[in-house]
């Protein structure tokens, strides 16, 4: 089997892998794949990373046929900042071939030269954490917000104690919660399950708001919504049964972010 065929088949298998008692996804190839990278770095190195991502990486990914690419930052904490990069892929082949395509891209090598020349005793970043995510059936493609408008992104990760519970949380969103989100103004960007990464199994999703006041108001409407109150009262969807930990991150897009 050729490498590209093998990679595509392997990821498709992961996307549709059956969990006991649950049906496999009938059409995993229709779902997008997302690569989420988070750079941890000192504040003083933020301009170097921004220059690399905005001038070299994002344009090169577009030349490879990938994207859109979102780049988001969190408020600094004790002199450190986290910058997250979200890449949208239509296929597993796209993920597998990006590194080689970047290496062969002369314009990328030129614009990324100073970033790639960083010395071991003066690194740009401390480490990169990465996850590979597959869009859920109820939202198979990313819904891109208008990058020309002010916006605030909310990234949330719902961890579960096992695969059955994680699949139940996805079912909850697909059967009702996602529709409630849309109605009350919790505007989705993507919903996806983790295939590779930390804190697995988990459901990871992103929402977009005009600003912090809009974010708080939408969550208040959601918590008071009668349909949500009814849905969360169902024993099979009780948080204590299917969600073990929630991580909530509020992100600000960079000026060059495409999402």
Q: State the DSSP string of 23-53.
A: PPPS-GGGS-EEEEEEEEEEGGGHHHHHHII
Q: What is the mean pLDDT of the chain?
A: 90
Say if residues 119 and 38 touch (Cβ distance below 8 Å). no
Residue 7 pLDDT grade (very low, low, confident, very high; cuts 50, 70, 90): very low
Instruction: Identify the structural domains of the chain with CATH numbers, from first to last.
Output: 1-13+30-135 (3.30.70.100), 136-250 (3.30.70.100)
pTM higher than 0.85: yes
From the centroid of its chain, how far is CA 166? 17
Are residues 118 and 42 in contact, defined by beta-carbon separation less than 8 angstroms? no
Share of the chain above pLDDT 70, in %: 89
Residues 6+ positions from 232 with CB-CB distance below 8 Å: 238, 239
What pLDDT, on the 0 to 100 scale, is given for residue 1?
47
Of residues 13 and 253, more confidently modeled: 253
Only one residue has tokens 């770095």, namely 41
Q: So what's the pLDDT on residue 28? A: 58
The whole-number pLDDT of residue 96 equals: 85
Give the whole-angstrom CA distance, residue 70 versus residue 99.
Answer: 18
Res. 122: pLDDT tops 80:
yes
State residue 92's pLDDT score.
86
Report the pLDDT averaged over residues 1-15.
47
Give the pLDDT confidence of 148-204 residue by residue, as tens digits.
Answer: 999 999 999 999 999 999 999 999 999 999 999 999 999 999 999 999 999 999 999
Nearest alpha-carbon partner for 202 in 171, 170, 232: 170
More confident residue, 96 or 209: 209
């Amino acid at each position: 089997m050729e490498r590209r065929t093998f990679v595509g088949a392997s990821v498709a298998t992961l996307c549709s892998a059956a969990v006991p008692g649950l049906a496999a996804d009938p059409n995993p190839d229709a779902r997008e794949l997302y690569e989420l990278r988070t750079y941890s770095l000192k504040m003083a190195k933020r301009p170097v990373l921004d220059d690399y991502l905005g001038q070299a990486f994002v344009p090169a990914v577009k030349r490879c046929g990938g994207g859109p690419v979102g780049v988001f930052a969190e408020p600094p904490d004790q002199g450190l900042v986290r910058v997250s990069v979200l890449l949208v892929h239509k296929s597993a082949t796209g993920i597998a071939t990006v590194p080689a395509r970047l290496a062969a891209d002369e314009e990328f090598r030129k614009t990324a030269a100073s970033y790639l020349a960083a010395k071991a005793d003066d690194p740009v970043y401390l480490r990169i954490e990465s996850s590979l995510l597959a869009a859920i059936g109820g939202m198979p493609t990313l819904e891109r917000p208008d990058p020309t408008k002010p916006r605030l992104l909310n990234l949330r990760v719902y961890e579960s104690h096992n695969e059955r519970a994680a699949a139940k949380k996805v079912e909850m969103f697909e059967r009702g919660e996602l529709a409630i989100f849309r109605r009350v103004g919790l505007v989705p960007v993507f919903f996806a399950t983790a295939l590779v990464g930390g804190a697995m199994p988990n459901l990871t999703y992103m929402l977009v708001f005009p600003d912090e006041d809009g974010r708080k108001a939408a969550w208040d409407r959601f918590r008071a919504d009668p349909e949500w109150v009814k849905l969360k009262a169902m024993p099979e969807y009780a948080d204590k049964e299917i969600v073990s930990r929630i991580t909530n991150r509020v992100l600000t897009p960079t000026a060059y972010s495409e999402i």
